[in-house]
Amino acid sequence: MPKIILTLSALLLLAAPSRAAAAARQNLLEYISANLKADGGLPAAEQARLVSAFASQCSAHKYDVVPANDKVKADVVMRMIIEGVFDQSPAERIADVACAAERALSKGAPPDVVEGIALYGYRKKIPGERIALWARGYKDLTDAKVPPEVAADLIRNAMEKDWADSVFFMFKDNMYTAARSRFDMKNYATYLFGHYLEGKKLPGAMGADALAYFRKCAAAKTAPVLPDYQGVFSAKPMPETVYEAKPKEEAPVPEPVKPAVAPAQPAPPPEPAPVEPPKPVVPAQAQPVKPIVPATPVKPTTPAKPATPVKPVAPVKPATPPKLAPTPAEMGLAMTALWPGLHTSARSYLGTPYVWGGTTHKGIDCSGFTQNSYGENKVRIPRVSRDQWKTGDPIQWKDLQKGDLVFFNTMGAGVSHVGLVVDPAGPKFYHASSSKGVTEAELSKNYYKSRYLGARRIIP
C-alpha cells in the first residue's frame, strides 16, 4: 500500500506543472483582454467594448493559442489596438484594423512591416490580404536597396488611388529591376509615378517606358527630365544645417595601446674560440739532434664586441580626446529666436495625412514631422523617434516649453511616437496621428498621459 500511495503522489507532482502551463497558456482573445486590463489608461467599460468588438470581427482566429515563446504576432495586433485608443478611434474601427493586421500576419507577412502599413486602416478599410501583399512587396524592394520612403510611396499610391493588386505587382517588379540597374530610385519613382498619374499610359507600358528612358540616360550620362511630382519622399535638400543634435551614446572603452616595437632581447655572450695545443717534437733517427724550436705562441682570442644596446621605445602618447561639438548656447542659438520659424514649419503640416515612412506634405509620419519642422529651420535631428529620444536634454513636465519634443509608448515596446510642444499651457502639442494626420492634441488627456514617457529639449 505505501508503494501505491507513493506512486500516486509522484503522478500528482508530475501533473502539477502541466496544469500550471495550461493555466498560463492564452488564446489571442485572452491575451488582448489581459493586456487591456493591465493598461492603466482605459476604464473597464472601454476595455469590455474593445474585447467584444474584436471577438465579433475576428471570430476565425480569436481562439488561436499565443505561444509563450513567440508573442511577436500577438503583440502587433495589440499595438494596433493601443494605437487606435491613442487616436480615440471607435472600438469597431480599432477591432477592424487589429483583425486586418492579424489576417496579414497569418498570410506570412513580415510583422515589422505589417505594424506600419496596417495603420492605414485608420484612414480607410483595407483587407488583411492586401496588407500582406503590400508588406511583402515593401520588404522585397527595401531588400533590393530601394530607399524605404520610396517603397512607402508605392504603397501610399496603391492605398490612396485604390490600385488593383495587379498594378501594384507591375510597379513593384519594375522598381525592383530599376534598383538592380542602380538607377537613382527617387528620380525613377518621380518619373514612373508622375507620368503614370497623367493617365496617358497603362501600367505595363509606363514601366517599360521608364526603364528604357533611364537606360538611355545612363548610356548618354545625362540627367533625366522629371515631371512635377512629389511623393512622400523628399527630392529637395533641406537648408544648410547650422546645428546638428546627435544621439548621445556611451563612449566605448578604448583597448590598451600596444607598443609599436617589441623590446629587443639581450645578445647571448660569445663562445671562446678553441685553442689547439702545440704538436710534440719527434726526434729523427740517425740524425743529429736539432735544437727544439719553441712552438709559436697562440694569439689570444679577440673578445667579441658587445651587442649594440637597443634604444628604448618611446612611450605612446595617449590619444587626444575628440573635440566636443559646440552646444546651441555656444553657437548663440535660442528657442526664442528659432520659435517663429519652427512654429510656422510645424503648422504648415497640419492636416497632412499620416503615411508610414513619409517625409513630405503629401504624407508624413510622427518622426518625419518633427525632423522636418526642425530641419526647415537649419537644425538637424535624427530620423526615427527612438533616436530623437536620445538627443537634447531631459525636461520635466512642469518645465515644458515651446519646441520641446514629447515622447510616448504607443506600441508597448519603448519609444514609438513623438510630438512637438506648441503651447506649454495644457500642454498642447502637434503630432502625426495615424487616423487624423498631423493634428493638435492636449497632453493632459488621460490616453496621452498614460503613454507619456518624457520630453527632450533640443534648443534651450
Point out the residues that are catalytic: 366, 417, 431
CB of 442 closer than 8 Å to CB of 430: no
Q: Torsion angle of alpha carbons 44, 48, 50, 54, nearest 10°?
A: 150
Q: Where do we find the cell 496579414?
A: 104
CB of 403 closer than 8 Å to CB of 335: yes
Q: How many residues does the chain have?
A: 460
CB of 422 closer than 8 Å to CB of 343: yes
Instruction: Tell me whether strands 243-244 and 379-380 are parallel, antiparallel or unpaired.
Output: parallel
Q: Considering only CA atoms, which of 378, 345, 431, 350 is closest in space to residue 237?
A: 378
Q: Which residues contact 121 (CB under 8 A, 6 or more apart)?
A: 80, 93, 96, 97, 100, 101, 131
Distance CA 54, CA 70 (A): 21
Q: Torsion angle of alpha carbons 206, 212, 218, 223, nearest 10°?
A: -40
Report the DSSP beta bridge partners of residue 455.
395, 406
CB of 457 closer than 8 Å to CB of 401: yes
Q: Is the peptide bond before 224 cis (omega within 30 degrees of 0)?
A: no
